[in-house]
Amino acid sequence: MKNIIVLITDWCPHCKRAIDWIDEVKQENPKYKDIKVEIIDEEKTPAIAKQYDYYYVPTYYVEKRKIFEGGTTKDIVRKVFEEAIKTDI
């Protein structure tokens, strides 16, 4: 199981929905409950955000791999969680 990193801003309406969907998806599916989700606000912690290659928020990473960037849906959030539970073989 891998960690999820989400880059956001406070003023972004897509980011606010994404955070709500992250909580909903975790509650709906018990297999996601142990996945750690780190939310990084690019304006509050710019030094950390600059370590990532992205243009739009929200942007989702599983470990260091970018999964999706920009406007989002609940289905995209589910896909990010599915990437996080995949095992590397």
In degrees and rounded to multiples of 5, residue 37 shows phi and psi of -115, 120
Q: Is the peptide bond before 30 cis (omega within 30 degrees of 0)?
A: no
User: From CA 59, how far away is CA 55, in angstroms rounded?
Assistant: 8
pLDDT at 87: 66
Per-residue pLDDT of the chain (89 residues; tens, 9 = 90+): 799 999 999 999 999 999 999 999 999 999 998 999 999 999 999 999 999 999 999 999 998 899 999 989 999 999 999 999 986 54
User: From CA 89, how far away is CA 72, in angstroms rounded?
Assistant: 29
List domains and CATH numbers for the chain: 4-85 (3.40.30.10)
pLDDT at 12: 95
pTM of the entire predicted model: 0.91
Beta-carbon neighbour count of residue 53 at 10 Å? Answer: 10
